[in-house]
Structure 1
Amino acid sequence: IERQGHLKAFCYVAALCFLCSDVVSRKHLEEVSAKDLFSRLSEKGLLENNTFIKELLRTIHREDLIIRLEADRGNLEETDARRVLSNFRIMLYKIYDDMTVDGLESMKLLLMSKLGKRHLDHCKTALDVFAEMEKKELISDTHVDELYDVLLKLDVKLAKTVKHYTMRYEGRFHTQVHTDLNLKFRFCTLYKGPWITTTVCVCSVFPFLQFKRGHSPKWQNSHPSCTSLEREVYQINNRPVGLCVIINNENFLDGSQRRGTDKDARNLAEVFSWLGFRVLMCKDLTKDQMDQALTCVASLHGDAFICSILSHGKKGVVLGADRNPLSIKEITRKFRGCDQSVLTSKPKVFLIQACQGGKIQCGVQLNDMETDDDTSPLTIPEEADVLVAMATVEDHAALRHIFDGSWFVQSLCEQLKERCPRGEDIVSILHYVNDDVAHRETSSLAKQMPEVRFTLRKKLVLPPQHS
């Protein structure tokens, strides 16, 4: 960037500083060079986030640098960490990019009474004006009326940019209110496998999701002739076995996408349908929709329950399509045995493909190593018969290929297809998944380590039900 000539470099750096002002303190962005700026981003752990860096460069029209970045790092891995470049700031940059010199001077005149001549004299670009407007609290990501009114007097095209942003923002609240009041889940469909239905609300699938119950597991466990194998392995008698819910969040209300996630969802649906589960696919659910959907399905019968959530995430939570967090502990609590639900004593498996932080894991040599780390071991849920398999350990990112899907889900599907016909149990299979993912790395040597926590009392063996 700094090789572009002094003036061009100054403009690019100023633009990048403006775009990064939500993630780096403005105080640390004053009079910085490109090198200083990227040092600040490195301190925040954002320099390793390919998605964020590409978005920055794409916004300032430096696709040439993206090509160089992809050549150095590889271009196809993304993470499920939270997106940090806001649509608000991208919208302001677009206005700056499209504004003429005369338009800038006219805007400064219109804002003279509210910002003051002294402050405006120091504003060399529209980005400087926007920064002053933010300081005076004239604009924010939820309040752009003042900016819209000013631009409407200057350039209708620029005003439309604000209007489009406002419509998207208002639509977010409209959707939220609608779903909270009606508890509708219009994005849910049953996977077109052995058991088929059309697009439905979660609550309306109840009749279709009722299972023909086999012999009662409780009766079998207490019967005198119960074999040793039956005591060691969860009994699978129902056809279908139970419900597999896949929550696949690809499109977020802020306009961002999780590319490659549909490949994960499709492969999971195919594998668990093959293993005898009725598969319910839920697309782009908000936090409240996820919460209500899982509450609904917690009351359904079955010999086993599978829940796979494919979304963005942070430590201990997954994000809805509205980017509001839902605690993973809250999710598993809905199925706890102390509530005497129909799934009490039945195995409940949760597969989470989401980041648990923003750190990128690095590889280490396989030597005999010791550590004096006294960190307490990770706890597992108190409730019995639960397994939670995370794509990554706490504080770290989960990697996803934009065409081939995520490392964790793709490895899981491959291992299930290979090992379930052999009669291997789910915990053993997840050990193979851990090993497989641990041996993968990106072109920039980024690594990933899945994590499994469980309180299963028996082995869970899932033999294929369909050829």
Structure 2
Amino acid sequence: MSNPQPLEEMRCMQEAYDMSRAHLALTPCVIKAREGSEKDLVSLEHMFQQLGFESGLKRDPTAQQFQEEMGKFQQTIDAREGFVSCAFVVLMAHGEEGYLKGTDGQVVELENLFRVLNSKNCQALRAKPKAYIVQACRGEQRDPGETVGGDNVEMITEDSHQTIPTHTDTLHIYSTAEGYLPYRHDEEGSYFIQTLVDMFTNKKGPILELLTEVTRRMAEGERIQEGEARKVNPEVESTLRKQLYLQ
């Protein structure tokens, strides 16, 4: 009698991205006038090392340098010999909805950064997961919180066949909801980055499940700003077609 376990393992492998090869990461980060950012960088570097990523860092980029660093990253990936499993980009700066601000005071559009690694522009990452982690303001609103109950419903990813959409296999993880401020401590770093790093390095499971737990932890906590208790949670946008496991 055949053992069904190998068939089950094969099914699970087909439903998950192949993460057996190179993991690449880039972190363009504005440190200037963003107290606590150094703490975030240390935490992120620890996370990438533990998860087996080859990571690069660009400190205090101008708006143009944000775009240039993404272009260099794409060229490095496409020119690389051998299989690339995934790419992560961590973007940290002051910002507003849809934009990041460079050290020169100019802004760069997030969508212009995102499209550099899409299926059209980065061949080596076609059908491979691409994650963008954005620690930046998305507006000026502050959330005092509401008293409400209920659970969120997770979206189910689906497989494709011979062709894939241009913008598929992508994960956008924002530090806060559209229109709102995130929170960053001068010494302890940002609430979002520190919670995410703790989850990614200490827990195992599909990345969307881990991000749900990040959201739960942040939603249950409170930040004090201007003497008032404030609520905050990340926002996740996914076009992943398979399960993504970091460990």
State whether TM-score is above 0.5: yes
Question: Quick check: which one's strand share is greater?
Answer: 2
Give the counterpart of 1:449 among 233, 237, 241: 233
Q: CA deviation at 1:442?
A: 2.2
Q: CA deviation at 1:382?
A: 6.1
- Secondary structure of the residue aligned to 2:58 is strand
Q: Structure 2: any 5+ residue segments left out of the alignment?
A: 1-8, 151-164
- 1:84 is matched with which residue? none
- State the distance in 2 between where 1:317 and 1:438 align: 24
Give the counterpart of 1:331 among 113, 116, 128: 113
The answer on whether the counterparts of 2:47 and 2:201 sit within 8 Å (CA) in structure 1 is yes
Partner AA of 2:233 in structure 1 = M
Q: How does 1:263-274 map to 2 (within 5 A)?
A: 263-274=39-50
Q: Deviations over 1:215-235 (max 9, x none)?
A: xxxxxxxxxxx9322221000
- Secondary structure of the residue aligned to 1:233 is coil
- 1:113 is matched with which residue? none
- 2:219 is matched with which residue? 438
- Secondary structure of the residue aligned to 2:123 is coil
Determine if the alignment matches structure 1 residue 342 to structure 2 residue 118: no
- 1:384 is matched with which residue? 168
Q: CA deviation at 1:356?
A: 0.2
- 2:56 is matched with which residue? 280
- State the distance in 2 between where 1:337 and 1:321 align: 30
Partner AA of 1:308 in structure 2 = V
Q: CA deviation at 1:340?
A: 5.4
- Secondary structure of the residue aligned to 1:437 is helix
Q: Once the two structures are aligned, what percentage of the paired residues are identical? A: 26
Partner AA of 1:325 in structure 2 = V
- Secondary structure of the residue aligned to 1:462 is coil
Partner AA of 1:397 in structure 2 = L
Q: CA deviation at 1:366?
A: 2.4
Partner AA of 1:292 in structure 2 = E
- 1:141 is matched with which residue? none
- 1:307 is matched with which residue? 89
Q: Deviations over 1:288-318 (max 9, x none)?
A: 1110110111131421101001111101111
Q: CA deviation at 1:338?
A: 2.5
- State the distance in 2 between where 1:323 and 1:266 align: 25
- State the distance in 1 between where 2:184 and 2:206 align: 26
Q: CA deviation at 1:332?
A: 1.2
Q: CA deviation at 1:398?
A: 0.8
Q: How does 1:5-16 map to 2 (within 5 A)?
A: none
After TM superposition, the score normalised by the length of structure 2 is: 0.83
Q: Which protein shows a greater Rg?
A: 1
The answer on whether the counterparts of 1:345 and 1:385 sit within 8 Å (CA) in structure 2 is yes
Give the counterpart of 2:146 among 352, 364, 370: 364
- State the distance in 2 between where 1:394 and 1:416 align: 23
Give the counterpart of 2:18 among 220, 225, 235: 235
- 1:458 is matched with which residue? 242
The answer on whether the counterparts of 1:248 and 1:262 sit within 8 Å (CA) in structure 2 is no
- State the distance in 1 between where 2:200 and 2:180 align: 25
Give the counterpart of 2:199 among 408, 411, 415: 415
- State the distance in 2 between where 1:388 and 1:261 align: 20
- State the distance in 2 between where 1:235 and 1:448 align: 33
Q: Deviations over 1:87-143 (max 9, x none)?
A: xxxxxxxxxxxxxxxxxxxxxxxxxxxxxxxxxxxxxxxxxxxxxxxxxxxxxxxxx
- The 3 A distance-change label for structure 1 pair 409 and 340 is closer
Q: Deviations over 1:143-183 (max 9, x none)?
A: xxxxxxxxxxxxxxxxxxxxxxxxxxxxxxxxxxxxxxxxx
- State the distance in 2 between where 1:280 and 1:367 align: 42
The answer on whether the counterparts of 2:93 and 2:101 sit within 8 Å (CA) in structure 1 is yes
The answer on whether the counterparts of 2:87 and 2:131 sit within 8 Å (CA) in structure 1 is yes
- Secondary structure of the residue aligned to 2:113 is helix
- State the distance in 1 between where 2:197 and 2:122 align: 31
- The 3 A distance-change label for structure 1 pair 321 and 358 is same
Q: Deviations over 1:303-357 (max 9, x none)?
A: 1101001111101111111122111111111111133521111100000000000
The answer on whether the counterparts of 2:27 and 2:91 sit within 8 Å (CA) in structure 1 is yes
Question: Quick check: which one's helix share is greater?
Answer: 1
- State the distance in 1 between where 2:99 and 2:209 align: 26
Q: Structure 1: any 5+ residue segments left out of the alignment?
A: 1-225, 252-256, 369-380
- CA-based RMSD: 1.7
- 1:398 is matched with which residue? 182
- Secondary structure of the residue aligned to 2:17 is coil
- State the distance in 2 between where 1:442 and 1:412 align: 16
Q: How many residues are paired up?
A: 216
After TM superposition, the score normalised by the length of structure 1 is: 0.45
- Secondary structure of the residue aligned to 1:303 is strand
- State the distance in 2 between where 1:383 and 1:432 align: 25
The answer on whether the counterparts of 1:298 and 1:343 sit within 8 Å (CA) in structure 2 is no
- 1:354 is matched with which residue? 136
Which structure 1 residue ranges, 4+ long, deviate > 2 Å from structure 2?
A: none
